Amino acid sequence: MIILKQGNLLEDEAEALVNTVNCVGVMGKGIALQFKQAYPEMFSEYEKACRRKEVQPGKMHVVSTKSLLNPKYIINFPTKRHWKNKSRMEDIELGLADLIKVVKELNIKSIALPPLGCGNGGLRWDEVRPKIEAAFKHLKEVEVHLYEPAGSPNPDQIKIRTKPPKMTRSRALLLMLMNDYSIPGYKLSLLEVQKLAYFLQVVGEPMRLRFEKGKYGPYADNLNHVLLRLDGHFIRGFGDRNRDAEIYLLPNAVQEAEQYLQGDSEADEHLEKVRNVIQGFETPYGLELLSTVHWVVKENPDIKDDVRSIIEEIHNWNERKRKIFKEKHITKAWQHLKGIGMLN
C-alpha cells in the first residue's frame, strides 16, 4: 500500500527510512545531509563502504540503527554515481529492484522513500513516481510512505545527533562577529557569514579558509564544513547550505565564545579590527561590496590607489556586480578600506 506524503521524511515512524546517496562518500546537500546530521554513525559506515567501493548503482547499502524503536534501518539508495553528476533513470530502476529484494529479506513492513533522483538529481517526479509504484505493486503487505518533492524541511526541524564540536579561537571569534552583526536586527545568512569570516582571516586570524572568486565575492567552500559542525550546537539555520536561509546563534553560543576568548589579547585585537572594517557596512550589500573591493585590490595590488581601475575590475567581475554596485558606492567602500589601512 502506497501512501503519498509531504514534509520531513526523517520524522516518519516507518521501520526503514530510505536515504538518497552518491557512490563517493559525500553527504553534502539535501536529504543526505539531513541524514548525516541525524545519524552520524550511519554516515561513518557509509563513508567506509564507499572507500571499499561497496556503494554502487543498483545496490542498497543497509545500516541497522540497533534501536528497538523505528526506524530500525537506514537504507542508502545510490541515485548518483558522483555528487557532481545528475541521476540516471536506469540507476533508479536497478536500485528499486534491489530495494524490493532488501525489503523481502529483512521482512520490512513499513518504509519511507524520498522522491528518488529528483531535486538535485534532476529527474522528473512524474517519471520517477510510476517506477516506484510499479516496483512495490506486488508487496501489498508493505506500507510505503512516498514523499513527494516539496523542498527541504526547515533547517530548525533537522535532527542533530552529531557530537558537539570543540570551541576554538577562530570559531569563537566568528560566533562573536555573527552576534555583533545580528544585534541591530539584521538577518544573518550564509553570504554575510562568508564575508565576516573573510575579513577575520584578512586581519590575521589563521582560519585556514581557501577563498576563491565567487559570484557574490570572496567565497570559501571549506567554511561550510565549519558551519556544519557548529549547526545544532552553537548556531541554527545552516541546514543544507541554502544561501538565503537565516542563520542565528543558540543561547549558549556567545557565552561559551566569550569564556573561551577571555584574556586573549590577540583575539580581542582581531575582533576589534573586523568590527572597525564592517562599521557602517552591516548589510548584505555592504559586506559584499567591501569584500569585493578588498579582493580586487588584493589580487591587483598595482591598482590600489586607482579607484577607476578598481571600479572597472568590479564591473568586469560579473553582470550582477555591474548592475548592483554603483560607482559612488565602490568609491565609498574603497575610501573606507584605504582610510583604515586595509589596502596597504
Residues 318, 225 contacting (CB under 8 angstroms): no
Question: Pairing between strand 217-220 and 211-214?
Answer: antiparallel
SS3 call for 181:
helix
Q: Which of 35, 38, 84, 79 is nearest to 58 (CA)?
A: 79
d(CA 284, CA 268) in angstroms, rounded, equals: 24
Interatomic CA distance for residues 110 and 115, integer angstroms: 17
How far is it, in rounded angstroms, from Cα 26 to Cα 120? 14
Annotation says 80 is catalytic: yes
User: Is the distance from CB of 61 to CB of 75 less than 8 angstroms?
Assistant: yes
Q: Retrieve residue 80's grid coordinates.
A: 548518483
- Strands 110-113, 61-64: pairing is unpaired
- Integer Cα distance of 159 and 147 in angstroms: 18
Q: Please provide the size of the chain in residues.
A: 344
Of 36, 80, 195, 273, catalytic: 80
Q: Strands of the chain (E only): list them.
A: 2-5, 16-21, 61-64, 73-78, 110-113, 143-147, 211-214, 217-220, 235-236, 248-249
Catalytic residues: 80
